[in-house]
Amino acid sequence: MSYGRILAISGCLFLAACSSWSASESKPQATADLRNGSGQSVGTVAFFEEKDGVRIAVKATGLPPGKHGIHIHTVAKCDPPDFTSAGGHFNPTGKSHGLQNPAGPHAGDLPNLVVGADGKGSLEYTNKLISVSSGPNAISGASVVIHAGPDDERTDPAGNSGARIACGVVRKS
């Protein structure tokens, strides 16, 4: 096979790869599969690295209706049923808890997830304080935890959001 032919073939492969990347613009850079304390799947979290931060898209199902605190926690370990293994909130900059706390927030703090009467909830939020996989604020290898109650977005260390009811490890996709 001639060198030129090899170049042509590898060029095609390269283009094919490029087109599949551009066709998958909406492919997240990382995801977390959420499971409840009984091990059942209750949704997913997708992370998209964008110009103005990391867009976080939560889709949850099978949860109790109402507002639920949801955060990125430090440890990539979701041991049911209480998920204490996930550690505290992701907080590489040493701030206090809460999006509405003047001394905050933790980089891993998020707005509440609102779940409807059908047990479904979704949340879209762009977090400017994290990255997916590079730098000191990278959340790849952290986890996402959903709590039983609402986060007051002010009270250290977790906004009084109560027990942990679901957890998922953040994995690069």
Q: Cβ 147 to Zn ion, closest distance in Å? A: 11
Contact between 73 and Zn ion by CB under 5 A: the answer reads no
Q: Cβ 93 to Zn ion, closest distance in Å? A: 12
Contact between 106 and Zn ion by CB under 5 A: the answer reads yes
Residue from the set 34, 130, 138, 145 that interacts with Cu ion by CB under 5 A: 145
Contact between 71 and Cu ion by CB under 5 A: the answer reads yes
What is the C-alpha to C-alpha distance for residues 163 and 124, in angstroms, rounded to an integer? Answer: 23
What is the C-alpha to C-alpha distance for residues 48 and 92, in angstroms, rounded to an integer? Answer: 20
What is the C-alpha to C-alpha distance for residues 149 and 37, in angstroms, rounded to an integer? Answer: 15
Binding segment toward Cu ion, per CB under 5 A, in 19-27, 47-55, 121-129, 139-147: 139-147
Whether 73 is catalytic is yes
Q: Cβ 36 to Zn ion, closest distance in Å? A: 21
Q: Give me the sign of the Cα torsion angle 117, 115, 29, 15.
A: positive
Binding segment toward Cu ion, per CB under 5 A, in 9-17, 28-36, 37-45, 68-76: 68-76
Tell me the number of residues near Cu ion by CB under 5 A.
Answer: 2
Q: Give me the sign of the Cα torsion angle 142, 148, 153, 156.
A: negative
Whether 68 is catalytic is no
The CA–CA distances, whole Å, from 26 to 11, 34, 148, 149, 158 equal 25, 20, 30, 31, 31
Q: Which residues bind to Cu ion, rule: CB under 5 A? A: 71, 145
